[in-house]
């Protein structure tokens, strides 16, 4: 079955700098890759997603890139702000199934 | 409209007792998922329901765990003979289906087994 690895497990950056979180997946047939943000004590919420027919997607300060050949995808946050501090989860959806396999999460801390 | 709701928000139970956790998905959503999140950990898939198809139970950790979805809407996750390692937040999510993959999560039920 699908397996998703996420790195790093913790990341600390200065406010205003960029943050990058990387994930790899094992099932080459996976076709949907979302990123969820979970603030402390809150539920996970989708922040951006990408499908396998697209290489990059941007939404304001957030971007996701996908390399299907290498089976990895990354989340990029630019001009980080204190409210970006949270746990971020990547996920992959195996082809033919609507379930998501999540990475272990990255705790991002933005230092003022 | 209303989001995914779960009840209870907190449940404390004694080891060996059975518990039932409830999830009300967004109206019209055809797929429903249960996850377990231990403190500081990731989201562990448990089970998912898609329309009238047989549920995917591949993530259930033992036969003490079961779930049902009645009338294609409300779902109940049952844990029998609870153990301390069952303590976690249990999250439910729903998806519209039909090629729409975004999962909308509920607030979770925090289960503590003493």
Quickly list DSSP for B38-76.
-TT---EEEEEEETTSPPB-TT--STTEEEEESTTS-EE
Interchain pair B56, A34: CB under 8 A = no
Confidence of residue B63 (pLDDT cuts 50, 70, 90): very high
CA distance A102 to A89: 7
Looking at the predicted structure, is the pLDDT value of residue B33 above 60?
A: yes
Interchain pair A102, B31: CB under 8 A = no
pLDDT at site A2: 87
Q: What is the pLDDT of residues A71-82, one digit of tens each?
A: 999 999 999 999
B14 CB-near residues (< 8 Å, 6+ apart) = B82, B113, B114
Nearest to A98 among B41, B91, B95 (CB): B95
pLDDT at site B1: 57
Nearest to B107 among A43, A46, A105 (CB): A43
Looking at the predicted structure, is the pLDDT value of residue B72 above 90?
A: no
Interchain pair B45, A93: CB under 8 A = no
Q: Alpha helices, DSSP H only, in A16-103?
A: none
CB contacts of B45 in chain A (<8 Å) are 99-102
Q: Which of A1, A12, A2 is nearest to A111 (CA)?
A: A12
Tell me phi and psi for residue B39, to 5 degrees: -55, 120
| A73 HSE (CA, 13 A, CB side) | 32
SS3 call for B85: helix
pLDDT at site B52: 84
Q: Which of B98, B77, B74, B94 is nearest to B31 (CA)?
A: B94
Mean pLDDT of chain A: 94
Please check whether residue A90 is in contact with residue A4, taking contact to mean a CB–CB distance below 8 angstroms. Answer: yes
Mean pLDDT of chain B: 93
Confidence of residue B92 (pLDDT cuts 50, 70, 90): very high
Instruction: Extract the residue ranges of chain A whose pLDDT is less than 70.
Output: 96
Looking at the predicted structure, is the pLDDT value of residue B58 above 60?
A: yes
Looking at the predicted structure, is the pLDDT value of residue B46 above 60?
A: yes
CA distance A81 to A17: 9
Please check whether residue B68 is in contact with residue B76, taking contact to mean a CB–CB distance below 8 angstroms. Answer: yes
Q: Is A84 left (phi over 0), alpha (psi -120 to 50) or beta?
A: alpha
Nearest to A98 among B35, B97, B108 (CB): B97
Instruction: Say yes or no: B91 contacts chain A, CB-CB below 8 A.
Output: yes
CB contacts of A102 in chain B (<8 Å) are 35, 42-43, 45
pLDDT at site B70: 85
């Amino acid at each position: 079955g699908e397996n998703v690895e996420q790195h790093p497990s913790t990341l600390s950056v200065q406010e205003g700098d960029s943050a990058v979180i990387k994930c790899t997946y094992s099932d080459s047939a996976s076709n949907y890759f979302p990123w969820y943000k979970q603030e402390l004590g809150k539920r996970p919420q989708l922040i951006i997603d990408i499908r396998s027919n697209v290489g990059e997607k941007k939404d304001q300060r957030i971007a996701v890139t996908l390399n299907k050949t290498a089976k990895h995808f990354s989340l990029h946050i630019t001009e980080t702000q204190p409210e970006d501090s949270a746990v971020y989860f990547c996920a992959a959806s195996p082809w033919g199934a609507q379930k998501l396999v999540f990475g272990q999460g990255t705790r991002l801390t933005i230092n003022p | 409209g209303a989001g995914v709701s779960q009840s209870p928000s907190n449940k404390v139970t004694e080891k060996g007792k059975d518990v039932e956790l409830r999830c009300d998905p967004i109206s019209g959503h055809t797929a429903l998922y249960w996850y377990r999140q231990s403190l500081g950990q990731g989201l562990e898939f448990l089970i998912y329901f898609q329309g009238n198809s047989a549920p995917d139970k591949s993530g259930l950790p033992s036969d003490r765990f079961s779930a049902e979805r009645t009338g294609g809407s409300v779902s109940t996750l049952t844990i029998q003979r609870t153990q301390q390692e069952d303590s976690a937040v249990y999250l439910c999510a729903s998806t519209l289906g039909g090629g729409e993959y975004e999962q909308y999560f509920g607030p979770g039920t925090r289960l503590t087994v003493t």
